[in-house]
Amino acid sequence: MTRINKAACIGGGVIGGGWIARFLLAGIDVDVFDPHPEAIRIVGEVLDNAEKAYVMLTGAPLPPRGKLTFRETLQQAVANADWIQESVPERLDLKRKVLTEIDAAARPDGLIGSSTSGLLPTDLQRDMRYPERLFVAHPYNPVYLLPLVEIVGGEKTSKATIAAAMERLPPIGMKGVHIAKEIEAFVGDRLLEALWREALWLIKDDICTVETLDDVIRYSFGLRWAQMGLFQTYRIAGGEAGMRHFLAQFGPALQWNWTKLMDVVDLDDALVEKIGQQSDEQADGLSIRELERIRDENLVGILQTLKGSHGGKGWGAGKLLKEFEQDLWASAGGEKKLADVAHPLRLIETKVSPAWVDYNGHMTEHRYLQVFGDTSDALLRLIGVDFAYVERGHSYYTVETHIRHLGEAKLGQAIHSTCQLLSADEKRLHVFHTIYDTATGDAIATAEHMLLHVDAKAGKAASALEEVLSKIRPIAEAHAKLPMPDGVGRHVGQKR
Our measurement of the distance from residue 252's CA atom to the centroid of its chain's CA atoms, rounded to an integer in Å, reads: 41
Shortest distance, position 12 Cβ to its own copies, whole Å: 14
Shortest distance, position 417 Cβ to its own copies, whole Å: 13
What is d(CA 333, CA 417) in angstroms, rounded to the nearest whole number?
18
Shortest distance, position 258 Cβ to its own copies, whole Å: 5
No. of helices (H) and no. of strands (E), the chain: 18, 14
What is d(CA 269, CA 22) in angstroms, rounded to the nearest whole number?
37
The CA distances from residue 83 to 2, 8, 49, 54, in Å, are 12, 6, 23, 22
Does a cis peptide bond (omega within 30 degrees of 0) precede residue 142? Answer: yes
Residue 176: strand pairing partners: 149
3-state secondary structure (DSSP) of residue 31? strand
By C-beta, is 79 or 179 nearer to its own copies? 179
What is d(CA 8, CA 454) in angstroms, rounded to the nearest whole number?
49
Shortest distance, position 144 Cβ to its own copies, whole Å: 13
By C-beta, is 288 or 339 nearer to its own copies? 288
Shortest distance, position 339 Cβ to its own copies, whole Å: 28
The candidate with the shortest Cα–Cα distance to 397, out of 452, 332, 329, is 452
By C-beta, is 160 or 267 nearer to its own copies? 267
DSSP string computed for 303-336: HHHHHTTTTTT--THHHHHHHHHHHHHHHH-SHH
Shortest distance, position 364 Cβ to its own copies, whole Å: 7
Shortest distance, position 335 Cβ to its own copies, whole Å: 26
By C-beta, is 118 or 334 nearer to its own copies? 118
CA dihedral 116, 119, 121, 125 (to 10 degrees): -90
The CA distances from residue 110 to 7, 34, 70, 92, 181, in Å, are 9, 19, 19, 22, 23
Dihedral of alpha carbons 443, 448, 454, 458, sign: negative
3-state secondary structure (DSSP) of residue 185? coil
By C-beta, is 226 or 464 nearer to its own copies? 226
By C-beta, is 73 or 393 nearer to its own copies? 393
The CA distances from residue 293 to 17, 22, 48, 111, 447, in Å, are 17, 18, 11, 33, 31
By C-beta, is 332 or 411 nearer to its own copies? 411
In the DSSP assignment, the letter for residue 143 is T
Shortest distance, position 354 Cβ to its own copies, whole Å: 6
What is d(CA 383, CA 338) in angstroms, rounded to the nearest whole number?
9
Shortest distance, position 271 Cβ to its own copies, whole Å: 8
The CA distances from residue 25 to 51, 65, 145, in Å, are 8, 5, 12
By C-beta, is 236 or 330 nearer to its own copies? 236
Shortest distance, position 341 Cβ to its own copies, whole Å: 22
By C-beta, is 107 or 430 nearer to its own copies? 430
Residue 443: strand pairing partners: 436
Shortest distance, position 402 Cβ to its own copies, whole Å: 5
The CA distances from residue 235 to 53, 244, 318, in Å, are 34, 9, 21
By C-beta, is 64 or 312 nearer to its own copies? 312
By C-beta, is 244 or 460 nearer to its own copies? 244
